[in-house]
Structure formats: C-alpha cells, structure tokens
Amino acid sequence: MKWVVKIGGSLFPHHAKKLLKNLLGEDVIIITGGGEFANKIRKYDHELGFSDTANHEAAILSMDIMGILLADLVKGAETTHTIKRAKKIKKDGKIPVLLPSRILHYLDPLKHSWKVTSDSIAFYISKLINAKLLIATDVDGIYTTDPTKREAKLINEITAKRLLTFGETSVDEELPKLLLKYKSDCYIANGKHPQRILSIIKSTETTYTRIRGD
C-alpha cells in the first residue's frame, strides 16, 4: 500500500462516505479521525480531568468506532486491526480501514497528550508500512491565518519547522515534530472534493498543502 489516507472526523458521515467510495481500487489504507466521539471525550476531560493515558486510549478507541461506522456505509470496505490483514483485504480487491487501537496499545509509540491526535497516529502507521501520508480534512490545507478570515491565504508548500511556529492549524501540534524527526513529507487536502485526493495519489495537479519534513 503506497498511501495512508486519513479521513478526518469532520467529514463524517456524508463527505467521508463519498470519499471512501471514490478511493475504492486505489493502493491505500484508510484511517479515520475520532470525530465527535473524540470531541466528547475532550469535553468530558475539561470538566472532569481524566489521566493522559485514559484520554489517549479513549480517543484512539473513538477512531476505531468511526472506522467501523464508515466501513459499514461503503460496500467493498472492510475493517481490520492488523497490517497483515489489511494487505489481504487489499489483495482481495477491497479497501482496508485500519482500526488502530490494538497496534497503538501494544506498541505505545506516541505521547499521551491532546497534542497527539489521529494525524500523528496516521503518520506513525504510514512509517510502519513505508507509505506516504495524505490527510483529508474539511479545509483546503494550511493557511497563513485562521481560514475563516478573509485575509487567509492557502499555503501550497511549507516546512515542518516553519509550521511549528503556527500553533494550532488543521493538523495536530505533534505532526510537524514527527515529520522533522523522520524527515518525511505529508499532504493536506479537502476531502469534500474527492477528485483532489485522487489527484494527489495519481500525481496530477490539484489544490493541497504539502508539508516538507525539513
């Protein structure tokens, strides 16, 4: 599998379903964001103050839930907890949706922090299988400022080092650190437009932000 495509929870359900359908037949493995389930955990944490580990594991389980629900909406998609099974699903002509909780619980490679979300987890999986990472979200990429502001401009390419100075963006705060550590690139694009995601996979011109690992 050449690509890990992370489908953001903000795209669920309708945009996520449409995107997954369009990715059938491509050389990809899917990971979903935790969406509203993870947001609810974060809200409860703010009120009650759970441990970092409880938050981390619960948020990852929310990714499993979203993956199960999304795969159920698309004929030809199948969930799995293992990379080995994902490869078999792909070989059988289906699209694998990886449920990452067991891998992350066993290997436990990332910080237990809200700064680590499904973006960093998807990147970690991409390194495990030596694949490229494409994050499909609900905006076109990384902007110079809050994308809801009129003066915001889309950045076509940015270094991870520069991104670290931006604070909160459309990707989690740990991702640029990981890109720097492993000297890896990733792509951010708007999953509401499946053709953009396909264009990146097929190396044709489209709208996106490329984050370079330098």
Q: What is the residue range of 163's domain? A: 3-212
Angle at 41 between CA 3 and CA 103, to 5 degrees: 40
- b/e map of 6-29 (b: 16 or more CB within 10 Å)? bbbbbbbeebbbbbbebbeebebb
> Mean pLDDT, to the nearest integer, of 11-37?
98
Instruction: Return the pLDDT at 174.
Output: 96
Contact present, 90 and 33 (Cβ < 8 Å):
no
Taking alpha carbons only, the member of 144, 145, 121, 123 closest to residue 56 is: 121
Per-residue pLDDT reduced to its tens digit, 63-81: 999 999 999 999 999 999 9
Instruction: Return the pLDDT at 124.
Output: 97
What CATH number corresponds to the domain at position 158?
3.40.1160.10
> Mean pLDDT, to the nearest integer, of 50-70?
98
Instruction: Return the pLDDT at 194.
Output: 98
Higher-confidence residue: 146 or 213?
213
Neighbours of 39 (CB within 10 A): 15
Q: Is the pLDDT of residue 25 over 90?
A: yes
pTM: 0.96
- b/e map of 119-153 (b: 16 or more CB within 10 Å)? bbbbbbbbeeeebbbbbbbebbbbbeeebeeeeee
pLDDT tier at 161 (50, 70, 90 boundaries)? very high
Per-residue pLDDT reduced to its tens digit, 98-146: 999 999 999 999 999 999 999 999 999 999 999 999 999 999 999 998 8
For the chain, give the mean pLDDT: 97
Pairing of strands 142-143, 154-155: antiparallel
Q: Is the pLDDT of residue 147 over 90?
A: no
Dihedral angle computed from the Cα positions of residues 109, 201, 96 and 4, in that order, rounded to the nearest 10 degrees: 0
Taking alpha carbons only, the member of 211, 214, 36, 35 closest to residue 134 is: 211
Q: Which contiguous run of DSSP H or E holds residue 65?
A: helix 52-73
- The Cα-based distances of 152 to 143, 145, 186 in angstroms read 6, 5, 21
Q: Is the pLDDT of residue 168 over 90?
A: no
Instruction: Return the pLDDT at 102.
Output: 97
Q: What is the DSSP letter of 33?
A: -
Instruction: Return the pLDDT at 146.
Output: 85
SS3 16: helix
Write out the two tokens for 192: 């509401």
| Number of domains making up the chain | 1
- The Cα-based distances of 157 to 116, 141, 153, 160, 214 in angstroms read 22, 10, 12, 10, 11
Instruction: Return the pLDDT at 120.
Output: 97
> Mean pLDDT, to the nearest integer, of 69-98?
98
